[in-house]
């Protein structure tokens, strides 16, 4: 039986790992807090690698699961960071939202991090730290929940990578991600099944980093990785 703390590795390459990040886990944190980085270091430690290098070129929010790449050496970390800065990394997410948005679309907003608060907001061009946020989406599936309210599964391709971007852009248009009370959801969402229910540090939200595409940091060959969402998610393991 696999330890519940074991991080699922999707691609194991000498230059990088692609992993499926679980929910309720920080990507990177100080030593006193559990994180994906610290668990991978522990998981990769062996006689051949007593001090494994695990570099973090990008992050997912604590309550977002899915595809994440980490570097296994400094050169790889620098190269991957450059790809994220240059926006040549493809990032696709699955978001289960309330409501019925149009079948496809492109969203562009000005947004910023709220000063001294762990949330983002829409803003105007003249406000300090305003940044453009863009994404494209299409609706994959729709359903009516037990309360006879419409819900939709979106496949989202990010053009930018702002703090809480998907959450804010969905919520501000009246399509909050299930469970995301910070950005307008009125419902609780639990991705787990069975009893007893787990205790989370934050409310779970129905957002999953589905596909990541980038270039190999040594060879520049295109790499594509997919992390199927947990089977208990409302769209199951094969949403497409």
User: What is the rounded distance in angstroms from the CA atom of residue 28 to the CA atom of residue 38?
Assistant: 8
What's the CA dihedral at 166, 167, 168, 169 to 10 degrees?
A: 40
Q: Quote the longest CA-to-CA distance of the chain.
A: 57
Q: Three-class SS of residue 69? A: strand
Whether 61 is catalytic: yes
Task: Check: CB of residue 21 under 8 Å from CB of residue 60.
Answer: yes
Radius of gyration of the chain (CA): 18
Choose the catalytic residue: 61, 109, 136, 190. 61
Strand partners, 90: 213
Residues 94 and 210: beta-carbon distance below 8 Å = yes
The per-residue DSSP string of 164-205 comes to: THHHHHHHHTT-PBTT-GGGT--S------SSSPPPPSS---
- Residue pair 212/68 in contact by the 8 Å Cβ criterion: yes
Residue numbers annotated as active site: 61
């Amino acid at each position: 039986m696999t330890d519940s703390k074991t991080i699922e590795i999707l691609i194991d390459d000498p230059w990088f790992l692609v992993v499926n990040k679980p929910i309720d886990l920080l990507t990177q944190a100080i030593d006193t807090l559990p994180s994906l980085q610290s668990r991978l270091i522990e998981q990769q430690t062996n006689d051949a690698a007593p001090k494994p290098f695990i570099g973090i070129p990008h992050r997912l929010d604590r309550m977002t699961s899915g595809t994440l790449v980490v570097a296994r050496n400094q050169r790889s970390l620098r190269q991957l960071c450059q790809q994220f800065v240059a926006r040549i990394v493809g990032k696709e997410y699955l978001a289960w939202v309330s409501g019925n948005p149009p079948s496809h679309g492109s969203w562009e907003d000005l947004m910023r991090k709220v000063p001294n608060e762990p949330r983002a907001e829409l803003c105007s061009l003249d406000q300090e730290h305003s940044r453009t946020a863009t994404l494209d989406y299409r609706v994959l599936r729709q359903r009516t929940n037990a309360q006879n309210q419409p819900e939709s599964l979106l496949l989202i391709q990010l053009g930018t990578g702002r703090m809480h971007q998907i959450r804010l852009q969905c919520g501000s248009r009246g399509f909050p991600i299930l469970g995301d009370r910070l950005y307008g959801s009125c419902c609780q969402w639990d991705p787990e099944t069975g009893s007893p229910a787990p205790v989370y540090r934050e409310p779970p939200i129905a957002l999953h980093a589905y596909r990541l595409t980038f270039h190999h940091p040594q060879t520049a060959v295109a790499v594509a990785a997919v992390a199927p969402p947990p089977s208990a998610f409302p769209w199951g393991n094969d949403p497409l």
